[in-house]
Amino acid sequence: MNYNWDWNVFFKSTGIGTEIYLDWFISGLGWTIAVALAGWIIALILGSVLGVMRTLPNKTASGIATAYVELFRNVPLLVQLFVWYFLVPDLLPERAQIWFKQDLSPATSAYLSVVVCLGLFTAARVCEQVRTGVQALPKGQNYAAMAMGFQQAQIYRYVLLPQAFRIIIPPLTSEFLNIFKNSSVASLIGLMELLAQTKQTAEFSANLFEAFTLATVIYFVLNMSLMKFMGWVETRLRVPGMMGGAK
Amino acid sequence: MIRFMNVHKWFKDLHVLNDVSLNVAAGEVVVVCGPSGSGKSTLIRTVNQLESINSGEIWVDGKNVVDPKTDLNALRAEVGFVFQHFNLYPHLSVLDNITLSPLMVKKMERAAAEKLALQLLERVGLAHKKDAFPAQLSGGQQQRVAIARGLAMQPQVMLFDEPTSALDPEMIGEVLRVMKDLAESGMTMMVVTHEMGFAREVADRVVFVDHGQIIEEAQPEEFFMNPQHDRAKQFLRQLLTPMQ
């Protein structure tokens, strides 16, 4: 291959103001993190509620949660994003439409769409993990809590969920990493997150290989750090006398 | 204190409880025994409605537990239950296992709940294990903690569902001694067990269950020396001389 590598490209001016290419990557990384963390908060809260619903004896509650999971797991993420960005705003009441399309900056409306999209998509996956975590617990835990006179909410709050969440930290970590990786779909609706900035750098500077190499390294280091962080969380929450959490 | 009136329960076609009527007076210790699959565990679990029933009535401390108007959670808080497999909460320390329901159900103050828990741990001989986690204890120790946990709600009645069946032989004694001590303190107890030594020494009455029916009910001396029914005789023979 005949290619002139030029790693100094990141410190060269973009030709726009005083920015260098590295600034674009930093800004892109900021958006990636902002999208992923906000989406994760939605996914964790909604997914936990849905996961609990799926384990309830109440058929309506578990039916609603099951339908949700089927819907959001079986439609491609990109299709969901286009629905949230291109279709849903048109279904809003007129004032909300004007607000979304005209009052908000394009970056903000793209940001809102992608956060909602990733949050709801990932919630379906978190739901399934919470459900399996609760179902993996011995039935006796539920009986013991019932026998003490706990109400159902207390059983979940004090007995089932603290154990279930410990069990599911490893698969939950995968979902946490996935939402960072999936956030790259935002580039397709014009949000200038890491991937979009990479493509833009490649086009502006013609240093395609350097740009994508840097993006790869940033994604890799980011996800490795998250994985280490979650490993630390898991160790901290480990129950003495037990390997790897609850039995 | 506990009164079963013509209780029936089916699991699909299986008639697990067949017209059971039984009274347990306040302060009385009743041992329930019978072959496995006879319905004795199901019977004891209906008292606090861990198992529902199809017909009949069960009264506990003047309240009908099968009446939908009865506050089941309040009633369960008055009934201590000890399980075969202990069912301690593995993510909580021994002390937190015991204080959880006084704190959350009785809304007791933390200091009072911890004081009570320490007294109970003292009573079951495990005060030095208050900060341990269940997985760090032996089976016998776990079951003693489970008894202390049941007592922490200051219940009117204690129910024991095969409390020593999952224990190694050398740990059975320590649990039975705690239960005997409890019986002597005047607690109303219903105990499903195969420990005939305990039944003979501690029980006021022995109830023999087979195929979902109570077929014999007698004082321990009477039951062991002079069982009336063939099935009870056979059961005792198998239990006392298993090799023959």
Domain that holds residue B173: 2-88+156-240
Task: Let me know if residue B192 belongs to a domain.
Answer: yes
* CA B126/CA B117 separation, integer angstroms: 11
Chain A residues close to B46, C-beta within 8 Å:
none
For B179-200, write each residue's pLDDT tens digit.
999 999 999 999 999 999 999 9
> What is residue A243's predicted lDDT score, i.e. its pLDDT?
54
Task: Let me know if residue B79 belongs to a domain.
Answer: yes
**Residue B108 pLDDT > 90:** yes
For A36-81, write each residue's pLDDT tens digit.
999 999 999 999 999 999 999 999 999 999 999 999 999 999 999 9
For A162-198, write each residue's pLDDT tens digit.
999 999 999 999 999 999 999 999 999 999 999 999 9
Chain B residues close to A144, C-beta within 8 Å:
81, 83, 87-89
DSSP-derived 3-state class of residue A66: helix
B118 contact A CB<8A: no
Buried b or exposed e, range B185-199, using 16+ CB within 10 angstroms: eebbbbbbbbbbebb
pLDDT > 90: what percent of chain B? 91
* 8 A C-beta contact, residue A12 and residue A20: yes
Domains identified in chain B, total number: 1
List chain A domain ranges: 21-237
Chain B residues close to A150, C-beta within 8 Å:
73, 101, 104-105
Task: Let me know if residue B23 belongs to a domain.
Answer: yes
For A191-204, write each residue's pLDDT tens digit.
999 999 999 999 99
* 8 A C-beta contact, residue B203 and residue B193: no
Task: Let me know if residue B21 belongs to a domain.
Answer: yes
- CATH superfamily membership of A21-237: MetI-like (1.10.3720.10)
Task: Let me know if residue B150 belongs to a domain.
Answer: no
Task: Let me know if residue B185 belongs to a domain.
Answer: yes
* 8 A C-beta contact, residue B217 and residue B207: yes
DSSP-derived 3-state class of residue B56: strand
Task: Let me know if residue B205 belongs to a domain.
Answer: yes
Chain A residues close to B78, C-beta within 8 Å:
149
**Residue B105 pLDDT > 80:** yes
* CA B153/CA A121 separation, integer angstroms: 44
The CB-based long-range contact list for B126-130 (8 Å cut-off, 24+ gap) reads B126/B94, B129/B94, B130/B93, B130/B94, B130/B95
Q: Which of A141, A149, A241 sits opposite B89 (nearest CB)?
A: A141
The residue among A141, A146, A148, A151 with the most chain B CBs within 10 A of its CB, best to mutate, is A148
Chain A residues close to B103, C-beta within 8 Å:
none
For A102-156, write each residue's pLDDT tens digit.
999 999 999 999 999 999 999 999 999 999 999 999 999 999 999 999 999 999 9
What's the CATH code of the domain at B45? 3.40.50.300
Confidence band for B50, pLDDT divided at 50, 70 and 90: very high
The residue among B49, B61, B104, B133 with the most chain A CBs within 10 A of its CB, best to mutate, is B104
Q: How close does chain A come to B135, measured CA to CA in Å? A: 5
Partners of B59 in the β-ladder: B3, B64
> What is residue A245's predicted lDDT score, i.e. its pLDDT?
42
Q: How close does chain B come to A231, measured CA to CA in Å? A: 18
A146 contact B CB<8A: yes
Asked if the Cβ–Cβ distance from B77 to A149 is below 8 Å, we say yes
Q: What type of residue sits at position B59? A: W
* CA A109/CA A102 separation, integer angstroms: 9
* 8 A C-beta contact, residue A70 and residue A62: no
**Residue B237 pLDDT > 80:** yes
Task: Let me know if residue B207 belongs to a domain.
Answer: yes
Q: Which of B83, B100, B135 sits opposite A242 (nearest CB)?
A: B135
